[in-house]
A = this chain, B = another copy of it.
């Protein structure tokens, strides 16, 4: 029995053309040549993509379900992306809406090594929602970022992440930043007994990221942030496999505006590759995702599936303290709330603003 990857596309088309368009996508995402020119019987039978279903979903859109041979994907995450959407991403009438992957492949990727339970345990959070903030702006030296981190920690935040713009810049080199921040947080941890975590952002090529993980781990860091769309899926897969003790938070930078449906990309694929937490732009903030899209991202990240651990959805992108109750009503307890700029605006009252955010999340009556 051959394994099959099912790719589900939403295609803009008229009713007359959709069958031909669907067949063209099936060919593009498999053999990429005229089927009539394929002499090999096995390739025609097993490798050429097959249109399984076409559904008119209204507004000139069709949902097209295509079967691709699992053999063409093999075991590499980059090749999975290549086969699911590669050349078809260049067509502006198609989005990749969903994918159904064979159990073998899901098991091979393995999903989060820590996930929701692991991230709660690290900060002794019980069953409540998790809190997070971001140190920024970039341009500050490491010592100043460490001060901010310390104030977030004093306010009682769980996870303090680098802004995704922080890399290995001259004004705040990665190693100096990790050293300054972990030292600052250790002081708070020792004094207040808080299990706060720093989440440094990794950048660069695979080797550079490995070195950064080594530096971070030496400083006691056990969770890092990565940008899978920039580092490449295969390298993310590799880094997760090489570092079972490290948790990974995935950032959506370069995720594009829904050419791949966000619940699929952030909730399903990144989780499968091992993201213990996935940041997404919550509705009503700086980005345009609808409440329904956000709900689907969270549900997909958390859903019981294939024996994978749930990944923590991280609602972010211009959130404020005022929205905490509404967000918790919307998402429930299985969420991490990330407020960055909305806390930093408090400036000299940053500790107090953070503490108020933290209290709001702790005191919320979870259903």
Contacts and interface: CB of A to CB of B under 8 A. Distances in A.
A165 B29 CA distance: 8
A164 B32 CA distance: 9
A235 B232 contact: yes
A204 B138 contact: no
B254 A85 contact: yes
A292 to B, nearest CB: 16
B47 A87 contact: no
Interface in A15-31: 24, 28, 30-31
Contacts of A235: 205-206, 231-232, 235
Interface string A87-101: 101111100000000
B82 A33 contact: no
A9 interface: no
Give chain A's interface residue range (CB within 8 Å of chain B). Answer: 35 or more
Contact of A206 (B37, B92, B207, B288): B207
A274 B90 CA distance: 22
A230 B46 CA distance: 25
A93 B257 CA distance: 9
A327 interface: no
Q: Is the interface of A mostly helix, strand, loop or mixed?
A: loop
Query: How many copies of the polypeptide does the oligomer hold?
Result: 2
A82 B33 CA distance: 35
Contacts of A256: 89-90, 256, 259
Contacts of A58: none
B78 A231 contact: yes
A60 interface: no
Residue among A28, A86, A252 facing the most chain B CB atoms (10 A cut-off): A86
Contacts of A82: 164-165, 167, 203, 227, 230, 253-254
Contacts of A33: 136-137, 163, 340-341, 344
A144 to B, nearest CB: 7
Contact of A138 (B30, B34, B139, B340): B30
Contacts of A259: 256-257, 259
A39 interface: yes
Given A40-B140, A206-B207, A288-B92, A87 B253 contact: yes
Contacts of A203: 76, 78-79, 82, 234
A256 B85 CA distance: 9
A194 to B, nearest CB: 24
Nearest to A39: B347
Contacts of A206: 205-207, 235, 238
Given A33-B136, A86-B165, A90-B256, 5 more contacts: A32-B136, A71-B169, A72-B169, A204-B234, A257-B259
9 nearest interchain CB pairs?
A: A232-B232, A47-B139, A31-B137, A92-B257, A86-B253, A33-B341, A43-B139, A206-B206, A205-B238
